[in-house]
Structure 1
């Protein structure tokens, strides 16, 4: 039986979410929310009702909620939208072309920044501390008069470590610099962790994806604080119709939006912090029993549903995650968004997050990211540890045979 331990990449759709979506996935419902007839008006009313509902949860105005295809689009929308606004300034001396970005950010933040570097923007990538954390006291030294944006994620998607977002946003707001906070993994805890404004009162933009909280794929959200969204107006990423304040043209995905908003409502009422912590401690006990403390954490996760484990002292594999995949255990080597590039024609292409921590190639190859969802059980962990033990034993036998062959 296959076991899924990769919830940081995707989560199953909650049955209650699917039930909420179902009426809008049948032949009985049709309507473009921009159409003026009754069918279009009904679609528009459904979307706006959902927008108002989630705005209450996020404690902001419905006008600060932008529905997107996911955190990747939302992050691009903010980074490129702000950059375009700067480039449109007639007086080049007034243009701000400096961006501060954590070196361990998601690819949907790192890669847009790299694109902007080709257009003359300067990006300062801040390396994390030993536990994978971006510290406010270090980052503040890089803030300049021409700093346009600071990008810092709430919870790292490979390590489970948290950054000092509130302090960083406080420092930025004093200089009127917007902050982009990727909350994609933060929301997986549910409950109070969806109250962005309480957690980070001076941050500017928050992004997340539906499929990390048991909602449908292909839907996400950009939540703005106060009037920061005004900076993006007239600088839409996807230009077409006037949907979503003109920030992204295209027909609205009614069923997807309903599903995501239902997932948000459910997650705001349910907290998984204690459940994940219990699983985390159980995993630690089982690993210590099996490997005697030789399996180490690449970072101590504050959010304990995401764990980066280093088996390089125990196992010598080209890809431990692939070994487990062949046995029906779903884990990641790094972020799923980057995993297809793990091996290239030129050879090994390591996780930029693990590289930023200073891990060697051997350590990275023998690292796996385990991430829990609300359906994960202790039996799943037992099976994972059992398979890891078997891989270790086979690995030792292979090394022994290779040694005997070399001696001959």
Structure 2
């Protein structure tokens, strides 16, 4: 087995390495003797609270929103569940409607939350399909919205295909109708500019480990005039919406990672787009390899391809043995070996291996060229049925 230093890591969409600058600011909160509950009134508690609020300011600045709109969670999954369920329950209590509209390619944290509300509580759920490029038609999604719609949820960018959705068109239209709009921005933050206020987004989800922060900590943004019902009950931390003792070390790391992402967004976006296009161009010149997702409206770090006649798991493992770490799709479903709902939604070929290469900090031209060379080498036996 190759050592970690020998592996070319092209699976940043699953999780990204913690940036050294992030580790550095977290260490004081992880060392023995560091103590302080951010809800305590003594000096150590106030010190922890100050660190949390500094991180809240960093996230708010990175998103162009106010600190009051930043609520810390355990990650994107919790943020998605809290936003969708909490907004639906609040709308139901206020008599504003109980129906939900979402897309067929949402993250499982969104789709399964919506399906639970439908199956357990009886809410109507309308799931809007997408084109073969993975994009929602704005008119079709807005047509699904009725007077009883409580929440619309549409991710900013798909976690598998990398396709960027027209949230900038759908959100303002929903705001005019007074319908809450939730967007999972987990894959998009730090990769493309976000305009939560301009897009009319009521609530959004972020996860630190997707932008070179620690695992186990995330953000739910929440507009100041919105008061969803809590999913967790307890200490009423985070505006009374999210209860639980705050993860000070993780939050400090998240704040630092958000500030880093903000500072490098423009330059890193250009760099990653150049590398992405280099990889797409090289791979799609190979026989039997085609690009999945939208050709241009996609994240700068995502390359998702279909390899006709190859087996996905065997190809991935062969690349792994060659020192290339990539993915057959989302890593968010534990032990999942079945075809993803995203591939079904875009009617992707069933006789092909679908591979996701996601780039990030540390990815170089040499890594891209090595990836192309290894996949090219594998494709000869693959077309002969050896993979």
TM-score scaled by structure 2?
A: 0.91
Flag the structure with larger Rg: 1
The answer on whether the counterparts of 2:312 and 2:328 sit within 8 Å (CA) in structure 1 is no
Tell me, in whole angstroms, the C-alpha distance in 1 between the residues paired with 2:217 and 2:133.
31
Q: Give the corresponding residue for 1:298.
A: 292
Of 205-214 and 28-37, more deviation after overlay is shown by 28-37
Question: 1:115-145, CA deviations, whole angstroms, 9 ceiling, x for partnerless residues?
Answer: 1111101111111123111121111111111
Tell me, in whole angstroms, the C-alpha distance in 2 between the residues paired with 1:287 and 1:37.
59
- Give 1:3 shift: 1.5
Question: 1:63-97, CA deviations, whole angstroms, 9 ceiling, x for partnerless residues?
Answer: 211011111110100111123324545xxxx3622
Match of 2:37 among 24, 32, 41: 32
Aligned-residue Cα RMSD (Å) equals 2.0
Q: Give the corresponding residue for 2:108.
A: 107
- Give 1:107 shift: 0.9
Structure 1 residues 57, 385: CA separation in 2 closer, same or farther (over 3 Å shift)?
closer
1:373 matched to 2:360? The reply is yes
Structure 1 residues 165, 108: CA separation in 2 closer, same or farther (over 3 Å shift)?
same
The answer on whether the counterparts of 1:149 and 1:180 sit within 8 Å (CA) in structure 2 is yes
TM-score scaled by structure 1?
A: 0.87
Query: Unaligned regions of 5+ residues in structure 2, if any?
Result: 1-5
- Give 1:112 shift: 0.4
The answer on whether the counterparts of 1:149 and 1:179 sit within 8 Å (CA) in structure 2 is yes
The answer on whether the counterparts of 1:297 and 1:307 sit within 8 Å (CA) in structure 2 is yes
Q: Give the corresponding residue for 1:279.
A: 275
Tell me, in whole angstroms, the C-alpha distance in 2 between the residues paired with 1:322 and 1:211.
24
The answer on whether the counterparts of 2:280 and 2:291 sit within 8 Å (CA) in structure 1 is no
Q: Give the corresponding residue for 2:144.
A: 142
| Secondary structure in 1 matching 2:132 | coil
The answer on whether the counterparts of 2:312 and 2:354 sit within 8 Å (CA) in structure 1 is no
Structure 1 residues 27, 368: CA separation in 2 closer, same or farther (over 3 Å shift)?
same
| Secondary structure in 2 matching 1:99 | strand
Tell me, in whole angstroms, the C-alpha distance in 2 between the residues paired with 1:194 and 1:18.
26
Q: Give the corresponding residue for 1:166.
A: 168
| Secondary structure in 2 matching 1:245 | coil
Q: Give the corresponding residue for 2:345.
A: 356
- Give 1:392 shift: 1.9
- Give 1:102 shift: 0.9
Count of equivalent residues = 377
Question: 1:199-241, CA deviations, whole angstroms, 9 ceiling, x for partnerless residues?
Answer: x2x221121111111111111111123423x2x1xx2111111
Tell me, in whole angstroms, the C-alpha distance in 2 between the residues paired with 1:270 and 1:338.
30
Q: Give the corresponding residue for 2:126.
A: 124
1:98 matched to 2:99? The reply is yes
Tell me, in whole angstroms, the C-alpha distance in 1 between the residues paired with 2:38 and 2:51.
9
Structure 1 residues 219, 148: CA separation in 2 closer, same or farther (over 3 Å shift)?
same
Tell me, in whole angstroms, the C-alpha distance in 1 between the residues paired with 2:80 and 2:114.
10
Q: Give the corresponding residue for 1:215.
A: 213
Question: 1:217-272, CA deviations, whole angstroms, 9 ceiling, x for partnerless residues?
Answer: 111111123423x2x1xx21111112112222221111111110011111111121
Counting only pairs closer than 5 Å after superposition, residues 225-374 of structure 1 correspond to structure 2 as 225-228=223-226, 230=227, 232=228, 235-271=229-265, 272-288=268-284, 291-292=286-287, 294-299=288-293, 300-301=295-296, 302-312=298-308, 315-316=310-311, 319-338=314-333, 340-342=335-337, 349-363=338-352, 366-374=353-361
| Secondary structure in 1 matching 2:356 | strand
1:393 matched to 2:380? The reply is yes
Query: Unaligned regions of 5+ residues in structure 1, if any?
Result: 343-348, 401-408
| Secondary structure in 1 matching 2:32 | coil
Which runs of structure 1 show a deviation greater than 4 angstroms over 4 or more consecutive aligned residues? 86-89, 316-319, 396-400
The answer on whether the counterparts of 2:58 and 2:258 sit within 8 Å (CA) in structure 1 is no
Tell me, in whole angstroms, the C-alpha distance in 2 between the residues paired with 1:141 and 1:60.
29
The answer on whether the counterparts of 2:12 and 2:358 sit within 8 Å (CA) in structure 1 is yes
Give the helix-richer structure, 1 or 2: 1
Q: Give the corresponding residue for 1:346.
A: none
- Give 1:358 shift: 0.9
Question: 1:147-182, CA deviations, whole angstroms, 9 ceiling, x for partnerless residues?
Answer: 010001111111111111011111111110010011
